[in-house]
Amino acid sequence: MSTPLNPSLRLDSPILRVGILLTLCLLLGLIVWQAAFFSRSQALSELERKVDADLTRYLISVQQKLDRYKDLPQLLSTFSDMASILPYPETEAERLRVNQMLEQMNRILGATDTYLMNSEGLTIAASNWGLPHSFVGGNFSFRPYFQIAMQGRAGQYFALGTTSLQRGYFFTYPIYAEDEIVGVVALKIDVNDVEDYWSDPLQDILVTDEDEVIFVSTRPEWKFRTLRPLSAADLQRIQASQRYINQTLEPLALTQRVSLSAHKQIIELLEPSATRGQAMEARGAESYLKMTRAIPDTDLQVSILANLRPVEQKMVLAALQAALVYLLICLSAWIVWSRYRLRLEREAYQLREHRALESRVEERTRDLRETNERLLEEIQRHENTQNELIQTAKMAVLGQMAAGINHELNQPLTAIRHYADNAREFLERNRLQPVSENLQEISALTERMAKIIHPLKEFSRKSAGENEILCLKAVRDGAMSILSGRLRKEEVEVSWPERLEEVYVLGDTLRLEQVFVNLLTNASHAMDALPTKRIEVHLSEDAEYYWVHFRDFGQGIQELERIFEPFYTTKAVGQGLGLGLPISQRIVNSLQGELRAINHPEGGAVFSLGLRKAVMPE
């Protein structure tokens, strides 16, 4: 940003203000003096401005006409039909097809002629193929526009047509095939209309080439004349290119030339001329203001020759206008200075605000960085806590299972002791048949005890932690084997769908068993106060998941939005810590599944477990 304004340079400084006023007065007197004694120069300046504006307007009209066509050869070069017949057409039918295409394109574009040349300059096809002066078969390799295109550049060139002898402006562009130039497409436009609309009798228009040869002019007698004598080498070069065919290219009779700047001159011309539409008549020397500008992206120049006779008539008016312009400039300068000073003050204020903002942002960034570090530590602690909670939940279930198994084992153990005592007595009496029957009963009871203990062993086994294809029936059987004792004791009826053996999902058997155990246990607890306890399990599917729905007939869930929060529970003290559902949800998420909870419209809650489908093994 800019530095604040130095107070010693402010306009409200008395010394600076007096100095500026004195300077302005001296400049005003100087300008008035110049307007009085050099009014011709001021009037000439006014004329220069007018001519400059007219030149700009005319230059724009010429530029617009050229711009309409300059990119068309490049567009035409992309047509595959062009390159397909280069360097020579294989059949006349191919040539006819491209001829007709160029004829149609030429008519649509409004150009004079459009034609295609091979790399040797030979015209292969042309829009005027059906006319007597057709370009087909002509060789234009001597033309600079062809040579420029063969160098890989877009060409522009003015010349008289060697066939039609009409003035035209040529645009060319190379045609590539496999990164090699195989030909050139050319487009010619008529330039006659760019001189017809000029109607100012005090100004004449000239368009010249790089050799200052006039080829467009509002004065017919100036066409194909030059603004300077050409050397023998220049004439030889122009003749070699056949640019102007047989024109003599004689110079205009300039008796005086005074340069005002790089593109402005005062010239005096002694040349017989003709008023347009009348016969030739002798005419004396005339003075002109000649202003010249180059047409962008071309080697052409546009000049306006303005007669200086009106200059003398505007001397006084020019002096007044000069004074007015000076005052306007002073006012503009004062406005610019005021705006500049205001901008500097505003920038200084913005700089102070920016620095304060940077300080606040840096402070906030530091606070956010520290907060982020604390959050990362908290996330790590939560991950560790989650693993501990899963283990705690498993241990809680194991404790409940152990209590149930202990109850289940008491009866078989008592029976085994009874059968063993009986067998010993029968053995002492030598009654072997009852001994054998008692031993069979003992064997059956031990097998029953093994089945009771088996779920505890399976549930305590550590999960591999990898997803595999598994059958939901196996998960159901494992969960029911774990909970069968408790559910039978609590008189809870569980109804399962019939086709679980046909349903295969991606998951981990042990972890899914734990989820099933948690959901069935929660459903059972939700119906503690009911005389009849029933859990309905339904199965549905969509394109991606199998859904297992566990419905109980309890009071429903009071706060659905909190049901999966850790330590949130509605159970009585001692029945649970509120970790079963959060752990189940974490397990399901790790298996790329979903766990949802809703209240059933007819009462009770429904937990829906979505598991990813798996392809059934063959």
Query: What is the SS3 assignment for 67-103?
Result: HHHHCHHHHHHCCHHHHHCCCCCCCHHHHHHHHHHHH
In angstroms, what CA-CA distances link 493 with 14, 489, 537, 603? 105, 11, 11, 17
| Residue spans in the chain of domains classed CATH 3.30.565.10 | 464-618
Residues 244, 250, 253, 255, CA torsion sign: positive
* Confidence class for position 48, pLDDT limits 50, 70, 90: confident
Distance, CA of 111 to CA of 87 (rounded, Å): 24
Q: What pLDDT score does 103 carry?
A: 92
With a pLDDT cut of 70, the percent of the chain lying above it is 81
Residues sharing a CB contact under 8 Å with residue 319, sequence separation 6 or more, in sequence order: 32, 35, 36, 39, 42
Query: What is the pLDDT at residue 102?
Result: 93
SS (H, E, C) 219-237: CHHHCCCECCCCCHHHHHH
Position 236 pLDDT exceeds 70: yes
β-pairing, 167-177 vs 180-189, is antiparallel
Average pLDDT over residues 393-410: 57
Portions of the chain given CATH number 3.30.450.20: 71-189, 193-307
Note the pLDDT of residue 409: 64
Q: How far is CA 85 from the centre of its chain?
A: 40
Is the pLDDT higher at 159 or at 105? Answer: 105
Our measurement of the distance from residue 325's CA atom to the centroid of its chain's CA atoms, rounded to an integer in Å, reads 49
Angle between helices 39-70 and 14-37 (to 10 degrees): 90
Among 149, 91, 150, which Cα is nearest to 124's? 91
Per CATH, the number for 71-189 is 3.30.450.20
CATH homologous superfamily, domain 464-618? Histidine kinase-like ATPase, C-terminal domain (3.30.565.10)
* 173 closest CA partner among 161, 160, 185: 185
Q: Element (H or E) spanning 114, and its range?
A: strand 113-118
Residue carrying structure tokens 């509002």? 218
Average pLDDT value over all residues in the chain: 80
Average pLDDT estimate for 312-336: 76
* pLDDT tier at 41, thresholds 50, 70, 90: confident
Q: Is the pLDDT of residue 282 over 90?
A: no
What pLDDT was estimated at residue 598?
A: 92
Report the sign of the C-alpha dihedral through residues 49, 55, 61, 65, in that order: negative
**CATH class held by domain 193-307:** alpha beta
Tens digits of per-residue pLDDT, 161-190?
777 777 888 999 999 988 899 999 999 988
Is the separation of the CB atoms in 205 and 219 below 8 Å?
no
Query: Token digits for 204?
Result: 């004449």
pTM of the model: 0.43
Is the pLDDT assigned to residue 514 strictly greater than 80?
Answer: yes
